[in-house]
Amino acid sequence: MATQSETRCDQPLRFSIPALNARGRLVRLDAVLNDVLSAHAYPPSVEKILAEALVLTSLLGTTLKEREGQLTIQAQTENGPISLLVCDYIDGAVRGYAQFDMARLAEVPADPNLFALFGKGYLAVTFDRPLPVAEGGGRYQGIVPLEGANLSEAAMQYFDQSEQIPTFIRIAISHVDGRCIAGGMLVQHLPDGEEGRERIAARGDHPDWEHVRILSETVKPEELADPALPLEEIAWRLFHDEDEVRISEGQYMSKGCRCDPDHIRDVIARFPASERAEMADDAGDIVVNCEFCSRKFPISLVSLNN
């Protein structure tokens, strides 16, 4: 059995095929994923869609070149069992959570599609790049209907409509020894280079992309979610006939909740004393909940007044 370091769980693999103007990412989440999921007692269907979202966030987040850059995905609806799902990535750290109606979720079929989980909703993908606007920095957001069998299909629709970048995404979930393992692959055609937004002229019918897409579609879900299969092996299986495939290791990922009791205290202290008194409970504490890590931070009025 290969070790975690050999299979690179929680460490993305970047690859590119220069002759075909294609780049890709492979990622398999294990410890990071279970760390995020353990903060909530999610039902199986919510756990699965959140695991998919965390893999998607990891795949898209690793396309950012700046360490301070942030990628956020948000799935939201007003009429579905899951009302909100949010994940983000910054400097190798991921986090995410979901809000849902347990009673309505009980009526969802065993293998639900996006409509069954969310109803009529939307997927928002937001890139924040810490560069001057003239250099392609700032915030860029695309919004598409939350449609398809899974988040991969919705995300591919985002790239097709919002960025016009031919993109293939596949995500798979498995359970091994009581742990949730989630893997995914993203492949894109970038004939105009990876820098800036000028690359939107990419064409989905380009013969190079057609070749890469056909090869990419042969990846099997069980390969992506197999913790014993090295990510390099997947890349080799798919593209070993190409003249050159470049691979490089990404940084190890971590659970990225950024809640800080000191920061929370500083923010609350800025409110007028009268407003702080209204926010406090009967015990004299202002309790702040972190949705991402499911922790509560009680800040006493006495401590704020000292």
For 253, which DSSP code?
Answer: P
User: Two tokens at 56?
Assistant: 């998607």
- Same domain? For 158 and 274 the reply is no
Say which residue the tokens 């991921």 belong to.
94
Look at the chain and report how many structural domains it folds into. 2
Q: Is the same domain home to 149 and 283?
A: no
Amino acid letter, residue 88: D
* Same domain, residue pair 214 and 300: no
pLDDT(211) > 90: yes
Residues 213 and 286 in one domain: no
Of 99-103, 153-157, 196-200, 240-244, the poorest mean pLDDT is in 196-200
End-to-end CA distance of the chain: 58
Question: What pLDDT is stored for residue 242 in this prediction?
Answer: 94
My answer on whether 211 and 279 are in the same domain is no
Of the listed ranges 35-39, 143-147, 263-267, the least confidently predicted one is: 263-267
In this predicted structure, the answer to whether residue 227 has a pLDDT above a threshold of 80 is yes
Query: Domain limits at 129?
Result: 4-255
**Would the pLDDT of 33 be above 80?**
yes
Q: Are residues 44 and 91 in the same domain?
A: yes
Indicate whether 117 and 249 sit together in one domain: yes
Q: Which residues pair with 289 in a beta bridge?
A: 296
Confidence of residue 67 (pLDDT cuts 50, 70, 90): confident
Same domain for 91 and 118: yes
Average pLDDT rounded to a whole number, residues 125-151: 83
Is the pLDDT at 198 greater than 70, yes or no?
no
| CATH code assigned at 24 | 3.55.30.10
The highest-confidence range among 84-88, 128-132, 133-137, by mean pLDDT, is 84-88
* Both structure tokens of 210: 């057609």
pLDDT of residue 162: 83
The pLDDT assigned to 68 comes to: 84
Q: How far apart are CA 150 and CA 43, in angstroms?
A: 17
Range 153-182 average pLDDT? 92
In this predicted structure, what is the pLDDT of residue 134? 65
| Domain CATH for 277 | 3.90.1280.10
Lowest mean pLDDT among 48-62, 80-94, 126-140: 126-140
Q: Is the pLDDT of residue 15 over 70?
A: yes
The verdict on 88 and 18 lying in the same domain is yes
Considering the domain architecture, whether residues 23 and 151 belong to the same structural domain is answered as yes
Give the E-state strand segments of the chain in sequence order: 13-17, 22-29, 70-77, 82-90, 93-100, 121-129, 138-145, 167-176, 179-189, 246-249, 254-255, 285-290, 295-300
User: Which residues lie closer than 8 Å to 155 by C-beta, 6 or more apart?
Assistant: 56, 60, 73, 123, 125, 167, 169
| Range with the poorest average pLDDT among 44-53, 60-69, 96-105, 186-195 | 186-195
Instruction: For residues 84 and 124, state if they share a domain.
Output: yes
Q: What is the mean pLDDT of the chain?
A: 87
Contact 244, 81 (CB under 8 A): no
Asked whether residue 296 falls in the same domain as residue 193, the answer is no
